[in-house]
Structure 1
Amino acid sequence: MKLLRLLVVVALTLILTSPSLSVHANENQKLPHLETDTTVFDAFSDVSENPTLTKDTDIDTLLKAAPELSTHDASTQNDPYEPNDTIDTAASIPYGSTIRANISREDDIDWYRVHLTAGTDVAFLLKDIPSGTDYDLYVFDPNLNYAVSENPGNQDEKLYLSVQTTGTWYVAVVPYEGFNPDEDYSLYVGNAWRNGSYSTPTSMTFNYNATNVGRMLPHQTLDLSNQPTIPDTALVTSITFYTASSSGNWGNQVKHIYSYQTGRWYETFVGLNYVLDLPNNLVLKQQWPITTSVERLFTSTASYRPGINFAYRYLID
């Protein structure tokens, strides 16, 4: 008798935890493919032999050596990286840190060098440009292919590059108009991505009964397209569900989430909360249809209100 009870318990355990149970009626949850704002992918530039220039800066002249300043030149004393007016005298800067320096003369070009590794996404950010001036940003790879940021006035200059060549890269800060020896600009060269998370207990409720066991319930939508606390460049790295509230008992639950960007449903493993097989380019700020399904119901009815956690990466700004 004890052996029989043990066999029954084992059998029930296998039924309730089996990953092979399927979910039906996926075809009833097809949704249209809507346009999603994917401007984050347009943020990255490429280095080339001849990128488009919007100003009349002469790159050949920029790369030519210029006479070094005297160490007694008073205009350089407030800049710890001088003399660095040529690519040959480029000052070494630390990766992942922000430095501050100034443009002290009309012909003062600030050159920097930094070691970069292929396969990394790197941000080059020139900010805090003094009012009344116009500084531009030029980045050169070890082969002197380059990318440029030439915004008007003292707007920030930003370049995001996927590094293809390991070695010494060069950064030039060039005064297109005006200069100010008394006000520093800031320059950051480092990882392009930062990590973040967004969590919310959704207001949606899914009700289970005998007629919908084994079926995906009608979807409900979580709209994050205008969520102000999420950066516009956020890309999803993981999605996990949690139980915000529930009633009743069920077995073998699967959570499903749809992306209009890819036109696909993604789901958790049976009984788990982690969404599987997500691509690495999902924009977080979009509408997310969500639904669930259960394979077993142990009470006449049950309800489930999901919460959801998004981990994401976003471009440093």
Structure 2
Amino acid sequence: MNYKDVLKDARGNLNKSCRVCPICNGIACAGEVPGMGGKGTGDAFKINIESLESYKLNMRTIHDAKNPDTTLELFGRKMDIPVFAAPVSGTTLNMGGKFSEEEYISWVISGCLSGGVFPMVGDTAVDSFLTTNLSELEKQGGNGIAIIKPWENANVIGKIKLAEEAGVFAIGMDIDACGLITLALAGKPVMPKNVDEIKEIVNSTKLPFILKGIMTTDEAKLAVEAGVAAIVVSNHGGRVLDQTPGVADVLQDIAQEVKGKVIILADGGVRSGADILKMIALGADAVLIGRPFVTASFGGKAEGVKSYIDYLKGELKSAMVLTGCKSIKDINSRILY
């Protein structure tokens, strides 16, 4: 399936909830939350793109990186490229409502698995969406990760048990969703957590625990103190707090502080293979990509998702050749200008 055709079809199927712009940069959809945009002025979404674009790549061609190895292993699973599909849920709330949550998430899950990467499934104001997401994941052998909203601890722990029953290989919580408008509108009690509360959640499961929504070095250190296995440096796609810095602005400092103590994932503005390369050079072990997986699924179902992953694979491998990186572990700040 041609990825350009996928995007063309997605534009109609998303019912104007997303314009499928040539560059998914948050300008056309600024303020559209609910929807696919960024909160308020939309600047926190836009700055994710701009901060990543501000880094340029040093081109090198005198080396022996002729056939780079793009694979890696995280959470005990081998991946073709260092990419997860971010946990984006809410077809009726945010995506125009043409397709059901079950249809959408089944396409993302199967497309990711056929493309050699793993999906993260999410939680939202509609309680049945998490159940649907976990059910679809269970049909695929539980090959994915579930991310729970920061409800009251008892509720979080209960939902972790549901995810364990579905067979997921890791679990997490997007703590930054404590300020999500769509949850507030639905009267759902989400909240920030202190270190002891996070510890209680981490200790409730034997699965690797991921804390998503870290944007400062001090909170990265608190996440380590709480015993998490991984963090996601993320401002929730600019959907929870206007006027934050971009993820690429803060990632390097966070990595310098906690690299080697936890797995570092990054989520914000990644659109291409070159963007993946940049995030890893700034200190991430792998990245999450959100909105482009939505458009790929709405435009081409599971095949559309796989076509996007194949596009990323080709771009990443080419970028690694042209920066002299033989493997993912060879990517470092030397490639950045």
TM-score, normalising length from structure 1? 0.22
- Could you say which structure has the greater relative contact order, defined with CA pairs below 8 angstroms and 6 or more residues apart? 2
Query: Which structure carries more helix by proportion?
Result: 2
Bigger Cα Rg? 1
